[in-house]
Structure 1
């Protein structure tokens, strides 16, 4: 059973269904028109053989803000591997803000991450993903990521990254950086700025390559988005 967050806008009281698996979603106080949900680890994560799946479904003119209470560490897996899969569906003018904490891939860990986002036209999502290859002083393990996003039937974003030790040090990938910090906007665009890629469709990717995650300034993008009022 996956971790599941299901939100439906309602004129009287927004409906919220939360299902716990590897992660426990817990509702937080929020202003009108916004549902805030914290993700709390329900046990040790991320270990060899773990298959984490998070499903997020939001319908109606409401914004869901997902808050991670702590970063995640993928520990040494001794030849085994783990998965971390996210599936998101937004409809009816829904909006999602999810600013993830660092996801650290320790030495000898092997992880595959996938994110699939389906938006109806008029919906928006903004997702921050901070990937850190290794704890301090380590050469991090292997990480493969896959991201797909659709607006209606149109594919907006398709990206696959091989962040294994042998490949990620190439100049076109990470070079000497240890951290890959990304804010992805779907259904709307981030402001024009250096290191921000405007997609052919309505979306943007802002990205920083840094040695230490705290050196990235993408937190400012996240903070500004959290202050943006609901316009649906």
Structure 2
């Protein structure tokens, strides 16, 4: 099973089909041309053995805005592990804006997190991912992330991060920081700033390394 959000543009009222699994998507009021959906945990998350999968499909000239009502905490797993997988497909001029709340990896947690996005030319996505290694006073657990994005048939972004305690303290990864805040755009570029990496294709990564998540000043950019 997967949590699934299916949106199809319609000249009268955009259609939205929602499927609940570990997360319960709920439609919110939005202006014309915008579908707003909140993600609410349907139970305790994230525990050993959990395999959360979120599928998002948007078709046609409409914008989907996903809102998270609270952050997610991956708790100590006592030798177990969990997964958090996101699959995004945008077609026919669709747009996605998803500014996720912090994803906290507690001491003793072991999490694999993947994001896969496929866009057609003319589609755009803006995704925020805020990773926090450990609750206050903790040395956080293990987190491995993998991101892949395609624009039409071309690979736009491929990134793997090993944020396990043994490796993330290196100067080329997190150093002394415990928070990694990232805004990724696909299908368009952010303005040049000291925190922004421009991809070879149409996309950008804005990233900050922080000790406390609230210190981040990354903001959403109007599309």
Superposed pair shares fold, TM > 0.5: yes
Q: CA deviation at 1:195?
A: 1.2
Q: Quote the residue 2:170 is aligned against.
A: 170
Instruction: Flag structure 1 segments of 5+ consecutive residues without an equivalent.
Output: none
Provide the rounded CA distance (Å) in 2 between the counterparts of 1:99 and 1:80.
29
Alignment of 1:44-123 (within 5 A): 44-123=44-123
SS of the equivalent of 1:150 reads strand
Provide the rounded CA distance (Å) in 2 between the counterparts of 1:169 and 1:141.
13
Q: Quote the residue 1:213 is aligned against.
A: 213
TM-score under structure 1 normalisation?
A: 0.95
Provide the rounded CA distance (Å) in 1 between the counterparts of 2:181 and 2:27.
26
Provide the rounded CA distance (Å) in 1 between the counterparts of 2:150 and 2:130.
22
Determine if the alignment matches structure 1 residue 21 to structure 2 residue 32: no
Q: CA deviation at 1:12?
A: 1.5
Determine if the alignment matches structure 1 residue 133 to structure 2 residue 140: no
Provide the rounded CA distance (Å) in 2 between the counterparts of 1:214 and 1:13.
37
Q: CA deviation at 1:94?
A: 0.2
Provide the rounded CA distance (Å) in 2 between the counterparts of 1:190 and 1:23.
30
SS of the equivalent of 2:166 reads helix
More helix by share: 1
Q: CA deviation at 1:158?
A: 0.0
Provide the rounded CA distance (Å) in 2 between the counterparts of 1:11 and 1:173.
47
Q: Quote the residue 1:42 is aligned against.
A: 42
Provide the rounded CA distance (Å) in 2 between the counterparts of 1:72 and 1:12.
36
Q: CA deviation at 1:208?
A: 0.3
Provide the rounded CA distance (Å) in 2 between the counterparts of 1:38 and 1:62.
17
CA RMSD of aligned residues (A): 0.6
Q: CA deviation at 1:90?
A: 0.1
Q: CA deviation at 1:13?
A: 1.5
Provide the rounded CA distance (Å) in 1 between the counterparts of 2:13 and 2:76.
44
TM-score under structure 2 normalisation?
A: 0.99
Q: List 4+ stretches of structure 1 deviating above 4 A.
A: none
Determine if the alignment matches structure 1 residue 30 to structure 2 residue 30: yes
SS of the equivalent of 1:214 reads helix
Provide the rounded CA distance (Å) in 2 between the counterparts of 1:186 and 1:14.
23
The alignment covers a number of residue pairs equal to 223
SS of the equivalent of 1:167 reads coil
1:10-35 CA deviation, whole Å, 9 max, x = no partner? 11121100000000000000001000
Instruction: Flag structure 2 segments of 5+ consecutive residues without an equivalent.
Output: none
